[in-house]
Structure 1
Amino acid sequence: MNVLEADRITRTYGTGKKQFTAVKGVSLSVSQGELVALLGTNGAGKTSLVEVLEGLAPPSTGSAAVFGMDPIRKRKAVSPRTGIMMQDVGFAQDLTVIETLRMWSGTLTAPRPVAEALKLVDLESRAKVRVKSLSGGERRRLDLAMATLGQPDILFLDEPTTGLDPASRRRTWELVQAMMDEGVTVLLTTHYLEEAEELADRVLIMSAGEIVTSGTVAEIVAKQPSKISFRDTGAEGRIDALTLAALPAVLGEPFVHREKVSLESQDLQTTLTALLAVASDRGVRLADLDARSASLEQAFMAVNQLEQGAEK
Structure 2
Amino acid sequence: MKFIYTSVVLALLVTTSLSAQTFYNHTIPSGWENTDGNYSLPGSTPFNTPNQSRWQWTYGRETLTHQFPILITEIAFRRSSDATTAAATYQGVQIILASSTNASHTSVSPTFANNLGADMVTVFNGDVQIPAYTAAGVSPAPFNVRVPLQVPFAFDPSAGLDLVIDVSTLGPTPAAGGGFPLDGVFPNGFLSQNGHITDPTSPSRNWFNENAGPIIELTYVFGSAAHFNVIATTTGGGTGDLFFQFANVPATTTRAYSLICGTPVSLFGLELGTGPVFGVWFDPLVAFVISQPAAAGNPFHWTWPVSSPTFPAAPLILPPGSLVGVAGQTWEVAGVGVDASGEVTGVTPVTQLVW
Compare the two structures and name the one with the higher helix fraction.
Answer: 1
* Bigger RCO (CA 8 Å, 6+ sep): 2
Structure of larger gyration radius:
1
Task: Report the TM range for the smaller structure's normalisation.
Answer: under 0.3
Using structure 2 for the length normalisation, give the TM-score: 0.23
Compare the two structures and name the one with the higher strand fraction.
Answer: 2
